[in-house]
Amino acid sequence: MPLEINPIGLVKPITQSEDQLLECEAEIELLEDTRRIIDDLKGYSHIIVIAYLKGSDRTITEVAKVINCRDNVINVKMHLKETADVLNIRPYDAFKDCIYSASTPQNLQSTPKNEAIKVMLKAAKSFHGALCAGVAIGVRMLYRASIELDCDPRSRDLTAVAAVKACVADGIQGAMGATNKRFRAAEQIDGTATFTYGGRAVKIRLAELTRFHDAKEVYEAEEDCVISRVEKFIL
C-alpha cells in the first residue's frame, strides 16, 4: 500500500555545497495554517523538520537553524540537498530534545571512516553549539582512540580524561555522548586525551605544529597532522 503524503509545505535548497559538513540555506514555504506554525516557532533558534524526499522515497528528520520568518516562508540553514515535501515542523527545545548520552543502534565501528567521522561531528556540533576546528580535532582524537581500543566511540564502557583546550574537549565529550561519569576534563592542559575501555587505555597526543583554520581542514587532514603520538597501556 503506497504511503499517503499530506504535506504542510515545501522545503527547497537556495544554496548548494559539495562540502557535506557545511550547512546551506534553504527556504520552507508553508501551505496552510501558516500563522499557527509561525507563532509556535517564535523565540526558537532551531526547528525540527520532517520531510519526504520523493526522489529517494524516504523520510528524513533534520534540525535546522532559523534565519528568519516572513509571512508563510521560513528561511533556515540545514543539510538539505534536494527539494522535499514538509510533513511536520516543531520547535527544537533545548530542554527536551538534547540528550547527549542517548544510545543509538548505529555501529560506527562498521561504518567507513569518513562517514563515521561525519556522524560524530554532527553530535559534537550539537553539544558545542558550533562546528569549529577544535571540535573537529576532538572528534579525530576520539575516532583514533576507538580504533586502537576496538570499541564504538559511543560505548557506555568507554571513558576519557582530556587535557586539551575547551573546544577540543567538547568535541570529544559531544561525540562520545558522555556525561561527566565517563568524561573528565583535566586541570592541566598538555594536549593529550586518555581513553580507557575493557581494561586497556590509549593516550592520544596532538600534533603541536599544525594550525587549522576550520573543521573542514581538520576533517581532510592526514592523521599525523592532527595526532603526533599514540601510547597504549594495559590497566
Q: Are residues 60 and 29 part of one domain?
A: yes
Instruction: Note down the domain range covering 53.
Output: 9-97
- 90 Cβ partners below 8 Å, 6+ apart? 40, 47, 48
Q: What are 125-169's pLDDT values in tens digits?
A: 889 988 999 999 999 999 999 999 999 999 999 999 999 999 999
Burial zone of 107 (CB within 10 Å; 0-12 exposed, 13-18 middle, 19+ buried): exposed
Q: What CATH number does residue 165 fall under?
A: 3.30.1330.130
Q: Are 162 and 183 in contact (CB under 8 A)?
A: yes
**Lowest-pLDDT choice from 41-50, 142-151, 158-167, 194-203:** 41-50
Kindly report the pTM of this predicted structure. 0.76
How many CB atoms neighbour CB 33 within 10 A? 11
What is the distance between the alpha carbons of residues 37 and 44, in angstroms, rounded to a whole number?
12
pLDDT bracket for residue 85 (50, 70, 90): very high
- Does residue 216 lie within any of the structural domains? yes
- Does residue 3 lie within any of the structural domains? no
Which helix (H) or strand (E) covers residue 122, if one does?
A: helix 113-128
**In the block, residue with C-alpha cell 599544525:** 210
Q: Are residues 230 and 118 part of one domain?
A: yes
Q: What is the pLDDT of residue 42?
A: 87
What is the Cα 80 distance to its own chain's centre? 15
* Domains of the chain: total: 2
